[in-house]
């Protein structure tokens, strides 16, 4: 039985010395690790001061950074979410954005959320309820918005890969349209008579130097690490239909438990591992000869590694090729329940990039395996993986007897429509002036290496997949170079003046002075203008008029007005061209004092002239703007909310979501002592 394939369309990570997917990729390519002596800043944050020894491990430095304003919550609410919850929320948003979606778009899909976390790590809770994993999950789902279903998984060290396996199950059962799977781990220390000791050290599974040496003769225990990640998954058929960018494909997955077969909880059971990985390959409908890489659990324990290697070698019996085997714990240590997330993201990068990433510091193969007779080969250097179809296996097992395996492949190249060069409008938005400038810099860098044919996709993803915040910049351009030049010019202007505007008002003076028109033609032209603006995604919230403009005011939201009714109103208003100018301006001043308003006019009429002379309101003269994109750029820069999906539907542009810069966040310190 072949399973429906699942697309990986978004990823995020926060690993030691690698808090982005790009930096994680660089670490893997360079074969470096993140193990170093604990910093004084980290000690102070946790209250350890000098009572912790000087052992090294792979630790995070920015787990205390969070931007409450971006999520619309207070600092008190952020503290109640706990450190683990805050980092999980941030990772979920980053994964959604990396897929090219906004949080608002989650509401348009049945989006699931599956999280793995350990309640033991919620030691900074503000009350009994906030220390419950289910409550943390509920708050994350609430702040994300639009979550269709959500639940926790806890299978100890296999939790993250179990969450991804369950996400696939939800999608195959058509219970969800998209699913976010996320996991995050913070290393816990306990106060002992010998000083502070990490939990892993107390359970005696840790390496004496807190480093993992998987599949090596010097292996003597697992490394210690912390961090996590999130992925956004979708059925492959839906991802292709929606023109999503697919990072990799999950072909099949399987979960198993050793049950009574396991005689020692501290070591894996070979028969269960073999059965589980074989089942995953069966569900994926792949042959053993197609498997080119295995990202193993690879804790760095002599017995565990040997059993894992024997199981994989037997699973690939009959293969005429050598399969490369690697383990990310050599780079960032064991992330406990989040370990499988690091392994999964690494395999996504391997199959998508066409690379075999090396085991960090590998130089002495374990003698527990007869390598010359094995189908496996440890990867000790960065290698190209240049097959057209690349299949890999990622595995995870736990001391409780659970194990999970997945078969993955690279995504097939999607056919790209021939691009007709046309002006594009690009809107950038952030919560603060400096963050907007940072986003402009990021976009300029990205555009500098972007293929010209991807410019419209880039603009589409930024416009639809990023939230509108307090500070906004908008530019137009037909080429990447034009966009970069326009963005550089944007930075020299007063970005702080582009504050949020929520109301767009059309002015209809009713004079018809711009060209010879009958009253009926004037009114119908205004209706066409309103329809045109709506088709471009420009919301017309209200209409102000005088003279014949009053006919438009009365009927602008009514698409089924009869000719008789229209003619009756025209007769009533056609000779009344003036207005009470003082009252009109008083109304305008009151309206603008209650919030930002943009006034549009397409005629040289009385109302526009009054506003222009008064100078207190934002006035945009449509007749002086050439092209829809220029109009959108002007309105965006003044803070108007544009329905981008409407604009792209109207203009017939069928665009793809591609990788674009993430929303910049403030590095605000939100922390409660975890002791």
Boundary-marking domain end, from 358, 390, 409:
409
The pTM of the full predicted model, rounded to 2 decimals, is: 0.91
Do 31 and 60 belong together in one domain? yes
Boundary-marking domain end, from 391, 409, 427:
409
Do 544 and 645 belong together in one domain? no
Residue 208 has a pLDDT of 85
CATH number at residue 444: 3.30.70.3290
Do 467 and 526 belong together in one domain? no
Residue 604 has a pLDDT of 83
Residue 513 has a pLDDT of 47
CATH number at residue 31: 3.40.47.10
Name the packing angle between helices 433-448 and 455-465 (round to 10°).
Answer: 150
How far is it, in rounded angstroms, from Cα 599 to Cα 584? 13
Is 664 inside a domain boundary? no
Is 248 inside a domain boundary? yes
Do 467 and 366 belong together in one domain? no
Do 522 and 493 belong together in one domain? no
Do 87 and 203 belong together in one domain? yes
Do 306 and 226 belong together in one domain? yes
Cα radius of gyration rounded to whole Å, the chain: 30
Do 450 and 313 belong together in one domain? no
Query: Are 84 and 7 a contacting pair, CB within 8 Å?
Result: no
Do 542 and 650 belong together in one domain? no
Is 532 inside a domain boundary? yes
Is 674 inside a domain boundary? no
Residue 193 has a pLDDT of 58
Is 665 inside a domain boundary? no
Is 200 inside a domain boundary? yes
Residue 532 has a pLDDT of 92
Q: Which residues of the chain have pLDDT under 70?
A: 1-2, 48-54, 124-131, 190-204, 259-266, 416-420, 491-501, 511-516, 557, 559-560, 594, 673-675
What does the buried/exposed string (b/e) look like for 8-24 if buried means 16 or more CB atoms within 10 Å of the residue's CB? bbbbbbbbbbbbebeeb
Boundary-marking domain end, from 624, 646, 668:
624
Is 241 inside a domain boundary? yes
Q: Which two tokens stand for residue 27?
A: 């670490």
Domain span at residue 522?
Answer: 503-624
How far is it, in rounded angstroms, from Cα 253 to Cα 255? 7
Do 400 and 425 belong together in one domain? no
Residue 514 has a pLDDT of 46
Number of structural domains found in the chain:
3
Query: Are 423 and 476 a contacting pair, CB within 8 Å?
Result: yes
Do 57 and 176 belong together in one domain? yes
Do 87 and 25 belong together in one domain? yes
Is 198 inside a domain boundary? yes
How far is it, in rounded angstroms, from Cα 573 to Cα 508? 13
């Amino acid at each position: 039985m072949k399973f429906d394939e699942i697309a990986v369309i978004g990823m995020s990570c926060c690993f030691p010395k690698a808090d982005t997917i790009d930096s994680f990729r660089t670490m893997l390519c360079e074969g470096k690790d993140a193990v170093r002596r604990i910093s004084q800043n980290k000690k102070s944050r946790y209250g350890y001061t000098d009572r912790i020894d000087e052992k090294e491990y792979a630790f995070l430095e920015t787990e205390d950074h969070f931007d409450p304003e971006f999520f619309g919550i207070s600092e008190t609410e952020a503290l109640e979410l706990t450190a683990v919850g805050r980092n999980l929320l941030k990772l979920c948003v980053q994964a959604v954005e990396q897929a090219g979606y906004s949080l608002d778009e989650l509401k348009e899909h049945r989006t699931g959320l599956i999280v793995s976390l350990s309640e033991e790590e919620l030691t900074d809770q503000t009350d009994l309820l906030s220390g419950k994993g289910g409550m943390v999950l509920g708050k994350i789902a609430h702040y994300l918005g639009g979550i269709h279903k959500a639940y926790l998984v806890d299978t100890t060290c296999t939790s993250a890969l179990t969450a991804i396996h369950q996400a696939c199950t939800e999608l195959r059962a058509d219970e969800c349209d998209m699913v976010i799977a996320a996991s995050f781990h913070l290393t816990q220390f306990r106060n002992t008579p010998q000083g502070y000791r990490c939990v892993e050290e107390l359970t005696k599974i840790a390496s004496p130097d807190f480093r993992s040496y998987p599949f090596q003769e010097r292996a003597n225990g697992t490394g210690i690490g912390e961090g996590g990640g999130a992925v956004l998954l979708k059925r492959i058929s839906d991802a292709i239909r929606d023109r999503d960018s697919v990072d990799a494909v999950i072909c099949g997955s399987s979960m198993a438990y050793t049950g009574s077969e396991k005689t020692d909880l501290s070591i894996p059971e070979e028969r269960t591992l073999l059965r589980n990985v074989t089942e995953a390959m069966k569900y994926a409908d792949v042959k053993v000869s197609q498997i080119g890489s295995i990202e193993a659990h690879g804790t760095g324990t002599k017995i565990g590694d040997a059993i894992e290697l024997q199981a994989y070698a037997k699973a690939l019996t009959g293969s005429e090729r050598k399969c490369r085997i690697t383990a990310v714990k050599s780079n960032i240590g064991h992330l406990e329940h989040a370990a499988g997330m690091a392994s999964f993201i690494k395999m996504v990068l391997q199959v998508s990039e066409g690379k075999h990433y090396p085991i960090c510091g590998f130089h002495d193969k374990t003698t527990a395996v007869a390598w010359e007779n094995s189908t496996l080969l440890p990867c000790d250097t960065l290698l190209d993986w240049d097959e057209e179809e690349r299949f890999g296996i990622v595995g995870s097992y736990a001391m409780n007897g659970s194990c999970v395996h997945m078969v993955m492949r690279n995504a097939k190249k999607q056919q790209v429509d021939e691009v007709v060069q046309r002006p594009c409008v690009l809107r950038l938005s952030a919560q603060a002036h400096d963050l907007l400038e940072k986003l402009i810099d990021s976009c300029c860098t990205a555009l500098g290496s972007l293929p010209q044919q991807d410019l419209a996709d880039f603009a589409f993803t930024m416009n639809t997949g990023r939230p509108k915040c307090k500070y906004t910049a908008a530019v137009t351009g037909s080429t990447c170079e034009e966009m970069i030049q326009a963005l550089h010019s944007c930075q020299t202007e007063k970005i702080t003046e582009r504050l949020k505007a929520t109301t767009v008002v059309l002015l209809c003076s009713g004079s018809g002075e711009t060209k010879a028109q009958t009253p009926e033609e004037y009114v119908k032209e205004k209706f066409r203008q309103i329809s045109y603006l709506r088709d471009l995604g420009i919301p017309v919230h209200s209409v102000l008029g005088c003279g014949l403009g009053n006919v438009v005011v009365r009927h602008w939201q009514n698409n089924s007005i009869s000719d008789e009714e229209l003619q009756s109103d025209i007769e009533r208003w056609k000779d009344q061209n003036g207005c009470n100018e003082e009252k009109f301006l008083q109304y305008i001043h009151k309206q603008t004092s209650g919030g930002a308003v943009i006034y549009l006019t397409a005629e040289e009429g009385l109302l526009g002239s009054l506003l222009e002379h008064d100078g207190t309101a934002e006035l945009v003269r449509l007749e002086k703007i050439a092209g829809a994109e220029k109009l959108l750029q002007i309105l965006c820069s003044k803070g108007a909310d544009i329905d981008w999906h409407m604009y792209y539907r109207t203009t017939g542009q069928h665009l793809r979501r591609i990788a674009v810069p993430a929303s910049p966040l403030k590095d605000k310190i939100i922390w409660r002592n975890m002791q």
